[in-house]
Amino acid sequence: MTPGARVAAQIEILEAILLGVPAEKALTNWARGNRFAGSKDRAALRDLVFQALRCRRSACAWPVAQSARAWAIGALRANGADPNEFFNAIGHAPAALTAEDVAPPPSERDLLDLQDWVIELLTQHYGVDRTAEIGGVLRHRAPITLRANLQKTTRKQLQAELAKAEIETSLNPASDTALTVVSNPRRAVLQPCFEQGWFELQDAASQAVADAVAVNGRVLDYCAGGGGKSLALAARSGSKIFAHDISTARMSEIAPRAARGGHDIEVISPSDLAAGAKFDTVVCDLPCSGSGAWRRSPESKWSLTPGDLEAFVRLQRDIIAKAITHLAPNGHLALITCSIFATENQGQRQFVQDSFSELTFCSTAQYLPNAMQDGLYLVIFKKDV
């Protein structure tokens, strides 16, 4: 497909999104109906669609898009491209631009590519300049980062092995296991060393958070999901990790991933986690707004409401209270979110301090989204009795 044809396909998909079809489903539907498109075309099209979503406001498509065509034009302009190079009616490219395609330039506020209420919340906590930095980062694609499995390799050895397949990586300073992929990222999981368990895909800040959790005694990953934190903890320590989640289905990939990496991870379903079971470390990667990782799921940046945020805060507090019941005396509780909202982070730290006198604050860390990592928050408490 030519660049113009890809933009034409992008417009088709954006039209479906404007009708309420989720982006992933819209991309899948388009691919099924256009079998001629190769893997490179599908990947490029995905990038175009997701970048349009990330920059929806600066593309003059928020809160309402004039049309999918106008959205695509605005997204190109927002990212410094000349739409005339793609809208030229050559081959399968969209029709050339007309006077009706001219839109007013975005304001400085529009260039933050955030909802107004989100801007206000972030500004209250971080200030104007830092909020602008965060908004600017979230307008662009997130880095692809690998976590070297120290049970099987070293970061340098993994880097050299990937280089044989022309997969260039750079050392990520967030963690001594993190490698950020610089070129040919989609080749990484196709390499034999991936099947041999040398690495997993994991954001650098997520790796840093796992590094900061001391693995002592029995460890419970209470909100394990797909097992990313469990795997990282097991790889770092060589210890057995217990993985639990309210959804058994979400944990379906933990066993094969653990086998590939050579880790001892026991999956515990909700019905099998005894009420009196105690652990020396309880890790809670809490469900949250995901605001620190909006580059990876940009639709959420526009769909989140203040009411949704309040609901996440309530849910988190319910989970925290339940997780604490599994904490052994002198045990540690690690709370994690991939959020940049103070209500989900510092606010929850204060909630624990106010509500659970048996817990003592130990440490905290805030990772803001940047070119090398997503935004995450970590706070650790110790149970005194």
- Alpha helix stretches (DSSP H) within 55-115: 68-78
Q: Is residue 135 part of a domain?
A: no
Q: Which sign, positive or negative, has the C-alpha torsion 337, 252, 242, 233? A: negative
368 neighbors 375 (Cβ within 8 angstroms): yes
- The tally of domains found in the chain comes to 3
- Determine contact, residues 9/34, Cβ cutoff 8 Å: yes
Tell me if 129 is assigned to some domain. Answer: no
Mean pLDDT (the chain) is: 96
In whole angstroms, how large is the CA radius of gyration of the chain? 22
**Is residue 317 domain-resident?**
yes
Q: What is the mean pLDDT of residues 203-225?
A: 96
Task: Looking at the structure, tell me whether residues 62 and 176 fall in a common domain.
Answer: no
Q: Are residues 164 and 55 in the same domain?
A: no
Do the domain assignments include residue 139?
no
Per-residue confidence (pLDDT) for residue 102, from 0 to 100? 86
DSSP string, 197-247: TSEEE--HHHHHHHHHS---SSEEETT-TTSHHHHHHHHHH---EEEE-S-
Is 128 inside any structural domain?
A: no
Q: Averaged over 9-14, what is the pLDDT?
A: 98
**Whole-angstrom distance, CA of residue 330 vs CA of residue 279:** 10
Q: Are both 289 and 245 inside the same structural domain?
A: yes
If asked whether residues 196 and 213 sit together in one domain, one would say no
- Candidates 289, 134, 150; CA nearest to 210 is 150
Give residue 218's pLDDT: 96
Parallel, antiparallel or unpaired: strands 327-337 and 199-201: unpaired
| Predicted confidence (pLDDT) at residue 223 exceeds the cutoff of 90 | yes
All residues at 6 or more sequence positions from 352 whose CB lies less than 8 Å from its CB, including other chains = 320, 333, 335, 359, 379, 381
End-to-end CA distance of the chain: 65
CATH code, domain carrying 286: 3.40.50.150
Q: What is the pLDDT of residue 385?
A: 79
In this structure, the number of other CB atoms found within 10 A of the CB of residue 23 comes to 19
Asked, for residue 270, whether it belongs to a domain, the answer is yes
User: Do 165 and 215 reside in the same domain of the chain?
Assistant: no
- Res 104: pLDDT: 86
Q: Could you tell me if 259 and 342 lie in one domain?
A: yes
Predicted confidence band of residue 86 (pLDDT cuts 50, 70, 90): very high
Whether 36 is in a domain gets the answer yes
Residues 221, 350 within the same domain: yes
Nearest to 324 by CA among 353, 359, 350: 359
Domain range holding 35?
Answer: 3-107
* Residues 150 and 238 occupy one common structural domain: no
- 216 — pLDDT class (breaks 50, 70, 90): confident
pLDDT given at position 353? 97
Which of 50, 84, 107 marks a domain boundary?
107
In this structure, the answer to whether residues 101 and 44 fall within a common structural domain is yes
Statement: residue 130 has pLDDT above 90: yes
Q: Which of 107, 128, 163 is a domain's end point?
A: 107
To 10 degrees, what angle do helices 68-78 and 3-18 make?
120
Residue 196 has a pLDDT of 97
Do residues 242 and 375 share a domain? yes
Which of 49, 81, 107 corresponds to the end of one domain?
107
Residue 8 confidence (pLDDT): 97
pLDDT in tens, 234-288: 999 999 999 999 999 999 999 999 999 999 999 999 999 999 899 999 999 999 9
What's the pLDDT at 103? Answer: 85
The helix/strand count (H/E) of the chain reads as 14, 11
Reported as a single tens digit per residue, the pLDDT across 37-79 is: 898 999 999 999 999 999 999 999 999 999 999 999 999 999 9
Cα angle value 271/274/279 (rounded, 5°): 125
Q: Are 21 and 95 in the same domain?
A: yes
Residue 142 exposed, middle or buried by CB count within 10 Å (0-12, 13-18, 19+): buried
Q: How long is the chain?
A: 385
For residue 184, the model assigns a pLDDT of 94
Give domain status of residue 116, yes or no: no
Are 221 and 336 in the same domain?
yes
Tell me the pTM.
Answer: 0.94
Could you give the CA distance from residue 313 to residue 320 in angstroms, rounded to a whole number? 11
